[in-house]
């Protein structure tokens, strides 16, 4: 593990889903456990105001610098809370660790039932940090940059009005691929392949693989298959001028307006998300557990016959 030197004061940013009815007790449990182990807790002002924590908790404004000086960002909630927390973690160049309080919680590293051992591992620095690829989207209109932002899961180019379809052309590495009439075009990372892109018919991509997924969403076209392209590729989506205004939605949370006739360019992000791993279990196990896949008929290869 890399991160805060052992001689420096230890501090974490605690980001919680304050909408959950049982969140106050869970936050108090984390605060008490951290305090007893010499780890200071910082919270955003809205969370601090909503959840009673007693004394000794630092409250900070909701800005990009919220996690600066912290060892990591600890998330209590579902995938939406995790994605929000990634903004603070990435801005401060620190890792993020999710504890699932939601339904599936695909991005979480642990469940709330294991909360005490999680704090123990943080205190003992018994974790490692891996990097997850991001994507960066730039919206251009009349050769002018309208906006730019990044996403851990996906950039979704969608029609602003719900009526009609989005008329768009997809280009990869400077060459046209196809025109689509569709609900939208998703440009996803491997991490996002189990999220919106999966619901739209995209493939599941193991997070150890750097790649960019291009997934037409409900396309009225003969060629509407998802594509997996190189992480060095530049994916561009050009919206038709007669198709109306569009919007680029980043991780389902942030938006960039894309006026009719805009060009949206998506590339691999310049900064990955640092992700805390608490064990060495493979992605396959997470996939089976979170999606409750049927594996009762699996026998496996006996140890004596396993390949080297």
Q: Which residues are catalytic?
A: 79
Q: CA 202 to CA 223: how far, in whole Å? A: 14
- Helix locations, 6-114, DSSP H: 23-36, 45-50, 79-92
Supply 38's token pair. 């010499």
Q: CA 86 to CA 40: how far, in whole Å? A: 20
Answer for the pair 135, 150: CB distance below 8 angstroms, yes or no: yes
Answer for the pair 185, 170: CB distance below 8 angstroms, yes or no: yes
Supply 169's token pair. 């052309």
Question: At 16, phi and psi to the nearest 5?
Answer: -130, 155
DSSP state of 143: T
Among candidate residues 137, 141, 222, the one with its CA nearest the CA of residue 188: 137
Answer for the pair 245, 234: CB distance below 8 angstroms, yes or no: no
Strand residue runs (E) in the chain: 10-16, 39-44, 57-60, 72-77, 96-100, 110-111, 128-132, 135-141, 144-151, 154-159, 166-172, 175-182, 184-188, 212-217, 227-229, 235-239, 246-250, 254-258, 263-268, 273-277
């Amino acid at each position: 593990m890399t991160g805060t030197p052992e001689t420096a004061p230890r501090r974490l940013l605690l980001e919680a889903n304050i909408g959950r009815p049982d969140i106050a007790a869970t936050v108090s449990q984390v605060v008490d456990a951290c305090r007893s182990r010499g780890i200071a807790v910082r919270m955003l002002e809205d969370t601090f105001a909503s959840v009673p924590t007693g004394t000794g908790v630092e409250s900070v404004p909701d800005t990009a610098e919220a996690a600066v000086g912290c060892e990591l960002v600890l998330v209590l909630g579902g995938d939406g809370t995790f994605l929000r927390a990634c903004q603070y973690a990435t801005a401060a160049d620190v890792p993020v660790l999710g504890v699932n309080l939601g339904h599936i919680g695909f991005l979480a590293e642990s469940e709330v039932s294991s909360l005490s051992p999680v704090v123990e591992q943080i205190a003992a620095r018994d974790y490692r940090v891996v990097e997850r690829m991001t994507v960066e989207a730039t919206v251009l209109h009349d050769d002018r940059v309208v906006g730019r932002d990044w996403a851990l899961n996906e950039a979704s180019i969608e029609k602003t009005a719900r009526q009609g379809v989005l008329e768009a052309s997809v280009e990869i590495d400077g060459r046209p691929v196809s025109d689509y009439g569709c609900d939208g075009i998703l440009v996803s990372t491997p991490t996002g392949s189990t999220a919106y892109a999966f619901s739209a018919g995209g493939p599941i991509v193991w997070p150890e693989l750097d790649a960019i997924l291009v997934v037409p969403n409900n396309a009225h076209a003969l060629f509407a298959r998802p594509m997996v392209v190189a992480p060095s590729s530049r994916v561009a989506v050009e919206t038709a001028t007669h198709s109306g205004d569009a919007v680029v939605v980043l991780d389902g949370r942030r938006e960039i307006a894309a006026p009719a006739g805009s060009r949206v360019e998506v590339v691999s992000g310049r900064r990955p998300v640092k992700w805390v791993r608490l064990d060495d279990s493979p992605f396959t196990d997470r996939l089976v557990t979170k999606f409750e896949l049927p594996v009762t008929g699996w026998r496996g290869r006996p140890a004596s016959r396993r390949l080297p």
